[in-house]
């Protein structure tokens, strides 16, 4: 099947799709993005992702490229053309193409929109979740506005590469006070020995994950108390269980941090319960 990608109003084969050499996303990382889970051909939590896209665009004074209905149409059409039933859809909006200059271009420069969809193997993700993953901690060297979902992802790439070098799938980033901010591409959670579910509060140091918010709602619906406060690496190492959340992995148990087993070294009951509850929610989620 020839895969198709949306670039500025047209669906093209990959080999024929092109971005302008002076697109500001390419030269300055002057672009924002979203990754939305596709489950059974439907978008999970689309309104929350599109709300966050609006916030990212507004924070950088990038004009909305089209109406929300039109964006939704692009997302659905990209999924349809690529016959993705389960996977993710990626949407990127840059400030557009203009002669290279740090200052913003004139207001009539149109944003560049790219959308692509990719199938995943749900059974493989489920097998990974059944085993749990390892994470590696490292200093958070990112900038001061991690709440904006920009494509400036080099620190995350470096962190993931370092994690992989140590056999871990994810990096947990640690601030100057020894507190975990979040994963390189996920939000970080612990369950304390007292049974308290803890995740860092929203703020400029983390991305307000859509999955994070839905898991907060899910936990509340299950009657599980969540405390939004920062936690240290030492607290995570001593936790009963730990896990991460993201659109592509939903709730993913973490069973090892820096080579040390968490709890009994197996996915914990709270993470598995939240994962299952999220799955039930997502199966009935927005179209």
Please report the sign of the dihedral spanned by the C-alpha atoms of residue 38, residue 41, residue 47, residue 53.
positive
| Per-residue DSSP letter, 3 | -
Question: In the complex, what is the shortest distance from the CB of residue 211 to ligand PMP, in angstroms, rounded to a whole number?
Answer: 3
Q: Which of residues 59-88 bind ligand PMP (CB under 6 A)?
A: none
Place of tokens 């100057």: 176
Strand 133-139 with 10-13, pairing: unpaired
Q: Which of residues 213-272 bind ligand PMP (CB under 6 A)?
A: 245-247
Residue of 53, 71, 97, 207 that binds ligand PMP (CB under 6 A): 207
Confirm if 224 and 277 have CB atoms less than 8 A apart. Answer: no
Q: How far apart are CA 210 and CA 53, in angstroms?
A: 11
Question: Which of 24, 142, 149, 169 is the catalytic position?
Answer: 149
Paired tokens of 95 = 């400030």
Which residue's CB is nearer to ligand PMP, number 16 or number 51?
Answer: 51
Which residue's CB is nearer to ligand PMP, number 98 or number 188?
Answer: 188
Q: How far apart are the first and last CA of the chain?
A: 25
Quick check: 92 binds ligand PMP (CB under 6 A)? no
Residue of 185, 199, 218, 242 that binds ligand PMP (CB under 6 A): 185
Phi and psi dihedrals of 204, rounded to 5? -65, -10
Residue of 87, 96, 132, 209 that binds ligand PMP (CB under 6 A): 209
Question: In the complex, what is the shortest distance from the CB of residue 2 to ligand PMP, in angstroms, rounded to a whole number?
Answer: 28
Quick check: 42 binds ligand PMP (CB under 6 A)? no
Quick check: 199 binds ligand PMP (CB under 6 A)? no
Question: In the complex, what is the shortest distance from the CB of residue 46 to ligand PMP, in angstroms, rounded to a whole number?
Answer: 12
Which residue's CB is nearer to ligand PMP, number 193 or number 204?
Answer: 204
Closest CA to 229 of 192, 185, 278: 192
Residue 160 is among the residues annotated as catalytic for this protein: no
Closest CA to 76 of 122, 43, 49: 43
Counting every residue written for the chain, the total comes to 287
Confirm if 53 and 45 have CB atoms less than 8 A apart. Answer: no
3-state secondary structure of 181: strand
Question: In the complex, what is the shortest distance from the CB of residue 6 to ligand PMP, in angstroms, rounded to a whole number?
Answer: 20
Quick check: 211 binds ligand PMP (CB under 6 A)? yes
Quick check: 212 binds ligand PMP (CB under 6 A)? yes
Which residue's CB is nearer to ligand PMP, number 201 or number 259?
Answer: 201
Closest CA to 108 of 100, 98, 121: 98
Residue of 140, 182, 205, 241 that binds ligand PMP (CB under 6 A): 182
The DSSP H or E segment spanning 26 is helix 24-28
Residue of 56, 82, 186, 218 that binds ligand PMP (CB under 6 A): 186
**Which residues are designated catalytic?**
149
Q: Which residues bind ligand PMP (CB under 6 A)?
A: 35, 182, 185-187, 207, 209-212, 245-247
């Amino acid at each position: 099947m020839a895969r198709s990608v949306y670039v500025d109003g047209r669906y093209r084969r990959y080999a024929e799709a092109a971005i302008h050499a002076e697109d500001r996303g390419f030269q300055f990382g002057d672009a924002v993005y979203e990754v939305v889970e596709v489950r059974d051909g439907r978008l999970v939590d689309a309104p929350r992702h599109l709300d966050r896209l609006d916030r990212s665009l507004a924070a950088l004074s990038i004009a909305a490229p089209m109406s929300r209905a039109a964006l939704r149409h692009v997302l659905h059409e990209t999924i349809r053309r690529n016959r993705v039933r389960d996977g993710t859809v990626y949407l990127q909006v840059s400030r557009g193409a203009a002669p290279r200059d740090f200052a913003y271009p004139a207001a009539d420069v149109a944003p560049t929109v790219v959308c692509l969809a990719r199938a995943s193997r749900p059974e493989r993700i489920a097998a990974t979740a059944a085993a749990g993953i390892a994470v590696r901690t490292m200093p958070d060297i990112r900038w001061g506005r991690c709440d904006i979902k920009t494509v400036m992802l080099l620190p995350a790439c470096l962190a993931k590469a370092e994690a992989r070098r140590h056999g871990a799938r994810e990096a947990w980033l640690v601030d100057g006070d020894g507190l975990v901010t979040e994963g390189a591409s996920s939000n970080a959670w612990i369950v304390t020995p007292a049974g308290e579910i803890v995740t860092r509060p929203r703020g400029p140091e983390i991305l307000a994950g859509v999955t994070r918010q839905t898991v907060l709602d899910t936990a509340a619906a299950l009657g599980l108390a969540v405390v939004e406060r920062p936690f240290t690496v030492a607290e995570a190492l001593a936790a009963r269980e730990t896990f991460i959340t993201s659109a592509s992995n939903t709730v993913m148990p973490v069973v090892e941090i820096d080579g040390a087993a968490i709890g009994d070294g197996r996915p914990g009951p709270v993470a598995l319960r939240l994962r299952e509850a999220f799955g039930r929610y997502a199966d009935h989620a927005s179209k």
